[in-house]
Structure 1
């Protein structure tokens, strides 16, 4: 019966605005068949529902409902499709542009990006920060955090309640009863400042985490640049070593076959030739891997050939870091600042949990009329009684979470100082090794050149020449490897010390003290 009545009313509401309904006193009169005294196709059920309902009131309610619906829908967001890609989207270098003004690292923002004349170390770092796929995801995370901060700052919507009652069947002197009320969640208003503080601190945390990731990406790009350039320089030396040892082995094998030398001599020559061949093959694989790692870091298609050239800002030696850098490390390291902002956000969450232990309060005002035309005005209060729960579980969770973030920051700070001290000590060892290797290199080069002249003059054998040449090649490869390791270590120290941090951003997000 109820479903039938609802369906009949919904089916007939459109008749309220037909020409025949203009001036009709009641909805039941409007919906009768012309010349008939009973409603169309509804029977006694429909007659009971529509009896005494004034048509102008129905029209008024329909107009109000339509106006409210139009107002609400006008501010609504609309759906926009975003289809997934069906093919690789990585762009070649020729189609990638970098705007230095959008880079936050000062060492990169002050340079002009122009791949036409080759990519130096700084330009490679610029391209990595601007085009790295992981950084793109991190920037999306920052957009999510900013949207969450926007949502946290919005005022709670008031709640509107509307109720209308129609006498059925109609009684003499009875009128439509209504109850209108508007209310607001007071507790949501009280917690809004802490929600905004937590959301803004979370934005700062994500932003600083992104900055630290940009630091690391730029440093990794520099390290890969150094590695690729070093391996490209070493590869010809290893190829030369493979060819020399191969020729020496062939000569000695022929000498053994003629009985001119002992068999163990050719065995050692074969071992040296196999070692040189393996070393060259390993270097080829490492060089290919370094090139592909660099392409992936820069967001370029696999197999891209980069025109790398020397130049750009070389890493600064940090054998003895300045006291200022170490003393102000918490203000210079973006990862430490990000953890500090995460602690600030959690501290606000902890305060919010404490507030939620108090009664949740909703206050509103009510205007009503009953069927006897008696008007009343009053207020309503909805109160949650904190008897059993009192939000104790969430308070315990937020307290434990804050303690973990406190310990995480402390551990990261201690680890940062330990890493710097370890790298400085290791760098001293590398410097001593490099100095020793470089000191011996000129003499070995001179002996190698002299052996080359002697071989050209047929004064020495190929075996003797190969020994002298291999000694210089081995030392040259060692020097190149040590230089690469030292350069990579200086890049890492630059990053760990925060020597290229944008001072304005780090000052803006400097960590503050927190108290219970």
Structure 2
């Protein structure tokens, strides 16, 4: 009957143990070989600038929000980030658990037993009460670390969304550039054929023929460079979306992002640290370290361990009592760990302030760059309209025989340069808006609140 409590305790302990399950590795790629059909609401993705948008790619391709949704769900790097968040939550769970008590047992046997001698033993449970003093602080640190991991994951999702938008913009705008270059190439190819025929009849000079051929070769070079860029961007997009390189990703040609509201931007700037997941993650990390600093200070006090003992010696004399173990803080006093935790907390404090300063600087820089590019784009569009009118007049004069081919080719080259400038500026402004939406957390109302996180 005396063995029953011990047997029952061991049975219950074994019943709560975890069991091993194998997780084999795979040596083959696990890309998706086609665009999946998903049913995910964007309000579950944690990015405030994504409006409600069901993932339903049509025959005309994916729009910018479709690409962002697919990137968040299937990006390989985000899968690893979610695993990291799972580790952080497991560590927080581990920190929240109370330490187990200890049970010590020993037995004594006489090598030459006397008559009436018995087997001696000592048995007694004990518990380290000193670990209870730091448990609350370390558990709090674990919770803040879990919050930090979740917020870092959210911030990484924002970056993936921004990267998906950038790739979408660059591919669509790059296709616009290819279309313009294709029109110019067809036009110049016709002119080169005409010039070659006129040169064979000695109706024009060699310099006119060379100018036409040089212009065509230059457009061919620009086309090849643009095609290489598109190929790289397409592969980058497939990698971001977790798709096999051979999977075609049709994209819509619509590229639209909200205009920047300066007044609303000023209001957003006032609460920027409460919107940015990376800043909130740094704050949670600082709070976790502050809890560790508190735990290190508490740990300088004497560690107390109390146990009960029950014993019988080999003379068959039984006894029971208790033992107390108390550390003496004379030399160490945990001063080294306190200094480390304090210095680490100072470093996190400075890192948070530096990141806040950088966040405001990034927003200010992007807003000013947007204004500069807006003025430049306005002037480029005015120049483009003038060039289009000049081109129409030149074509009319050329058709009437009042201008030579060289003037027409130079006009086309100037028009192409202005078209490329306008496309480049429009793409730059769109990319700046993507960056701005990322660093401010979108244009929607405040998503995060300080009260949502452990202080």
TM, length-normalised to structure 1:
0.80
Match of 1:351 in 2: 294
8 Å contact 1:180–1:368 — kept in the other structure?
yes
1:289 and 2:244 matched:
no
Name the CA distance, whole Å, in 2 between partners of 1:156 and 1:380. Answer: 19
Aligned partner of residue 314 in structure 1, secondary structure: coil
8 Å contact 2:48–2:441 — kept in the other structure?
no
Name the CA distance, whole Å, in 2 between partners of 1:114 and 1:426. Answer: 35
Alignment of structure 1 residues 237-276 onto 2, 5 Å: 237-249=180-192, 252=195, 261=204, 263-276=206-219
Alpha-carbon displacement from aligned partner over 1:224-266 (angstroms, at most 9, x marks no partner): 1111111111102112333444554565566667665555555
Name the CA distance, whole Å, in 1 between partners of 2:169 and 2:319. Answer: 82
Name the CA distance, whole Å, in 2 between partners of 1:119 and 1:135. Answer: 21
| Count of aligned pairs | 453
8 Å contact 1:332–1:499 — kept in the other structure?
no
5+ long unaligned stretches in structure 2: none
| Cα deviation, residue 324, structure 1 | 1.6
C-alpha RMSD over aligned residues: 2.9
Q: Rg larger in 1 or in 2?
A: 1
Which residue, out of 24, 32, 37, partners 1:91? 32
Match of 1:222 in 2: 165
Match of 2:82 in 1: 139
Name the CA distance, whole Å, in 2 between partners of 1:313 and 1:465. Answer: 35
| Cα deviation, residue 180, structure 1 | 1.6
**Residue 505 and residue 85 in structure 1: after superposition, are their counterparts in 2 closer, same or farther (change >3 A)?**
farther
Which residue, out of 4, 15, 20, partners 1:74? 15
Aligned partner of residue 50 in structure 2, secondary structure: helix
Which residue, out of 273, 291, 299, partners 2:242? 299
8 Å contact 2:106–2:121 — kept in the other structure?
yes
Match of 1:163 in 2: 106
TM, length-normalised to structure 2:
0.89
Name the CA distance, whole Å, in 2 between partners of 1:96 and 1:405. Answer: 43
1:190 and 2:133 matched:
yes
**Residue 437 and residue 75 in structure 1: after superposition, are their counterparts in 2 closer, same or farther (change >3 A)?**
same
Match of 2:424 in 1: 481
5+ long unaligned stretches in structure 1: 1-56
Name the CA distance, whole Å, in 2 between partners of 1:440 and 1:140. Answer: 53
**Residue 122 and residue 95 in structure 1: after superposition, are their counterparts in 2 closer, same or farther (change >3 A)?**
closer
Alpha-carbon displacement from aligned partner over 1:15-35 (angstroms, at most 9, x marks no partner): xxxxxxxxxxxxxxxxxxxxx
1:116 and 2:58 matched:
yes
8 Å contact 2:92–2:143 — kept in the other structure?
yes
Aligned partner of residue 161 in structure 1, secondary structure: strand
